[in-house]
Amino acid sequence: MTAEGIGRRPHHRQASGDGVQFRTSDGLLVLLEPSRELPLVDLSVTFRTGSVHDPEGLEGLTRMFGRMVRMGTPELDGNTVEETIAKLGGRLGVETSTSYVRFHGTVIKRNLQPFAALMSCLLRRPAFRVSDLAFVKRETRADIVAARDNDRALASRNFRRFLFRGHAYGRPVVGLRRSIRAIRCEDVRTQYARHFVAPNLILGASGDITEAELLTLVDEHFSDLPRGRAPKIRVPAPARPRGRHVLIVDKPERTQTQLYIGTLGARVNDVDLYPMLVANTAFGGTFTARLMYEVRSQRGWSYGAYSRLGQDRQRDAWTMWTFPAARDLAACARLQLDMLDDFVKEGISRRELRFAKKFLVNSHCFDIDTSAKRLEARIDNALFDLPTDHHLQYVRAVRGVKLDAANAAVKKRISRKHLAICVVATAQEVRAELEALPGVESVEVIRYDRD
């Protein structure tokens, strides 16, 4: 039993770590991060395939193939799979993002062998039954409808679509109702066959497992995988928005709004990634950063106020997120835009730089305090073709950030003029105020139940 209750602030944190690494003769990359602390083992298989690989009109296909893998093999139906996982004291999740699909399992150590055998079996021999696909499509459509009850998720999803208009990063990972309808079993099989090749996969293990145990496990369950190359997709650089544009996701009876303001963020291998990270931390990355101080501590307008620097192969999003009451929305948005102006024009101060660096360096121990976190950092290195010791350079890289570099990175990357602003609110109550925000060129309204 753990404590829940209600807290003073929303959580947020990032990750990093170190261990054993090898590649099988098929080309499968294997990473290990052992720890004897608890009798638990984490196993994951990550595909270097994400929603950016969804063909036009079939948005949601990559997530769908991940979900379909879980629906069983010719010998095991989906219910039997779920029953077996639970009986072993395990759990299995499938996570799809723009850049990867990850099958992530955790199991009590005594049941590691049968659990690994099941994971391997699911991945190697998915049944992809027509009846299962029909079920998963109905389930996905129901999930899309249910997600409309979550205002924050509505704001986040619509912000990305608005910012990355027409770009693969703007597609909802889960898909659209019409694209889900269009997906056929053949599409799922093809997507799987193209991407389930050893060099496209990363096998990760952490927790109560030794190197010798992992070698045996790989030999028994993850050898003789299909070889070959997965199709490479060259994701074009997303275009920066031109001008300030507002999207209102119109939902009835909102006493509170969800406000996302942002522009393009960073690439994982940007040379000024760390200067940008430090500057963002000073601006809106901690509880005492500028944004939280002005919005929450001084004015009490929003329970949370953070800025986030997204990173991917191409530039992801940089966002400010607050959730003011409807009556405070315009004032809060104005304040944030003023603060952004100041952030870009004046940059951060030497004192803020010192504070942000101290925070990032000193709190790094929580990025690596469990074997699972250390492994995740190494998987990210492999996924994004970064040096294997990239995560070990974190502290040095942060310490090395100079004030000029941090402020130059902000000037270069963050635009004051070209912004996407997305609000979940009752449009009738806020539209006029949003149109009056400085520099706004257009205000578009969509219904919240448009997916």
* Residues 25 to 84 in contact with another protein, rule: CB under 8 A: 35, 37-40, 78-79, 82-83
**According to CB under 8 A, which residues from 134 to 193 bind another protein?**
135, 138-139, 142-143, 145-146, 148-149, 151
Of residues 355, 390, 421, 422, which one binds another protein by CB under 8 A?
A: 355
- DSSP SS3 for 53: helix
The yes or no reply on residue 365 touching another protein (CB under 8 A) is yes
The pair of three-digit structure tokens given for residue 362, joined into one six-digit string? 């000193």
Q: Are 307 and 291 in contact (CB under 8 A)?
A: yes
Tell me how far, at minimum, the Cβ of 167 lies from another protein, in Å.
28
**Per-residue x/- track, 388-427, another protein (CB under 8 A):** ----------------------------------------
**According to CB under 8 A, which residues from 79 to 108 bind another protein?**
79, 82-83, 85-91, 106-108
Please give the Cα distance from 116 to 105 (Å, whole number). Answer: 9
Given the structure tokens 């544009």, which residue do they identify?
245
**According to CB under 8 A, which residues from 214 to 253 bind another protein?**
251-253
Of residues 66, 284, 324, 347, which one binds another protein by CB under 8 A?
A: 324
Of the pair 94, 419, the CB lying nearest another protein is at 94
Of the pair 98, 106, the CB lying nearest another protein is at 106
Q: Give me the DSSP letters along 420-439.
A: EEEEEE-HHHHHHHHHTSTT
The pair of three-digit structure tokens given for residue 98, joined into one six-digit string? 């723009």
The yes or no reply on residue 128 touching another protein (CB under 8 A) is no
Of residues 131, 269, 298, 388, which one binds another protein by CB under 8 A?
A: 298
Please give the Cα distance from 140 to 129 (Å, whole number). Answer: 16
Question: DSSP secondary-structure letter at 347?
Answer: -
The pair of three-digit structure tokens given for residue 146, joined into one six-digit string? 């249910």
Of the pair 110, 184, the CB lying nearest another protein is at 110
How many residues sit close enough to another protein to count as binding (CB under 8 A)?
76
Given the structure tokens 């060259």, which residue do they identify?
234
The yes or no reply on residue 350 touching another protein (CB under 8 A) is no
The pair of three-digit structure tokens given for residue 323, joined into one six-digit string? 């959730």
Q: Which amino acid is at 433?
A: E
Q: Which amino acid is at 173?
A: V
Task: Tell me how far apart the 2 most distant CA atoms of the chain are, in Å.
Answer: 66
Q: CA geometry: angle at 391 spanning 390 and 394, to 5°?
A: 100
The pair of three-digit structure tokens given for residue 76, joined into one six-digit string? 């095991």
Please give the Cα distance from 146 to 136 (Å, whole number). Answer: 15
Of the pair 8, 234, the CB lying nearest another protein is at 8
Tell me how far, at minimum, the Cβ of 155 lies from another protein, in Å.
12
Of residues 216, 223, 255, 388, which one binds another protein by CB under 8 A?
A: 255
Of the pair 54, 352, the CB lying nearest another protein is at 352
The yes or no reply on residue 366 touching another protein (CB under 8 A) is yes
